[in-house]
Amino acid sequence: MKLTFENLKQELKEKNVSLSHQRLKILEYLVQNRCHPTVEQIYSDLQKDMPTLSKTTIYNTLRMLEKAGLVKVITIEDKETRYDIDTKDHGHFKCESCGNIFDFPIDIDPLIPEELSEFKIFSKDVYFNGICARCLDIA
């Protein structure tokens, strides 16, 4: 299923999650800004339209969305929790220069070593760190 705002809204409805104005705005933001934003980014962007919005509500909403399985928490670096509306497995590259996060497809299932064969694996994360092509060009 495609990750449209309408589809996700429908999914929440089916899970009996009440859809307040704030929650819908945050969900919409995540759909439109697939840059794995931090709470701070979501807050400062949405505050322009909703001056009374509080960070507490953002935290509450993100926790709710995570519980509902609609967003994934990605811990790319210490102290900055980021949220990803795309819950499919994919890799993340963080550029040390511009700070941007790049998604890339990667399927590591064939590489899982024998010693983990008896383990139950819930999530598989791949995280690279370096300098992106654009920043290399500029330098």
Partner DNA sequence: GTTCCTGCAAAAGCTTTGCAGAAGA
Partner DNA sequence: TCTTCTGCAAAGCTTTTGCAGGAAC
Interface residue list for DNA (CB under 7 A):
17-23, 38-40, 50, 52-57, 59-61, 63, 78-81
Q: Is 104 in the site for a second copy (CB under 8 A)?
A: yes
Beta bridge partners of 103: 92
Q: Which does 35 bind (CB under 5 to 8 A by kind): DNA, a second copy, none?
A: none
Q: Minimal CA–CA distance to 61: which of 22, 12, 6?
A: 22
User: Which CB, 96 or 107, lies closer to DNA?
Assistant: 96
Q: Which stretch binds a second copy (CB under 8 A): 3-11, 13-21, 50-58, 93-101?
A: 93-101
User: Which CB, 33 or 112, lies closer to DNA?
Assistant: 33
Dihedral-angle region of residue 84 (phi above 0 means left; psi in -120 to 50 means alpha; beta otherwise): beta
Residue 1 Cα distances to 82, 87, 101, angstroms? 23, 12, 24
x/- letters, 17..56, toward a second copy (CB under 8 A):
----------------------------------------
What's 110's DSSP letter? G
The span from the CA of 8 to the CA of 72, in Å, is: 14
Closest distance of CB 57 from DNA, Å: 4
Residues 6+ apart with CB under 8 A from 53: 22, 25, 43, 46, 47
User: Which CB, 14 or 109, lies closer to a second copy?
Assistant: 109
Q: Give the number of residues written for the chain.
A: 139
Interface contacts to a second copy, rule CB under 8 A? 73, 75-79, 81, 93, 95-96, 102, 104-108, 111-113, 115-116, 118-133, 136
